[in-house]
Structure 1
Amino acid sequence: MPTRRNDQFPWDAAMAFGLGAMRLSPAEFWATTPRELAAAMRALGYGAHRPPGRGELDEMMRRHPDGGLAKTEGDDLGRASDHRD
Structure 2
Amino acid sequence: MMRERGERPRPDAPRRPERFASAALALCSLTARALGWRPQEFWASTPAELAAALGLLAPGADRPGLDRETLQRLMEHDHG
Q: By percentage of residues, which structure has more helix?
A: 2
| Structure ID, larger Rg | 1
TM over 0.5: no
- For normalisation by structure 2, the TM-score amounts to 0.39
- For normalisation by structure 1, the TM-score amounts to 0.37
Higher relative contact order (CA 8 A, sep 6+): 2
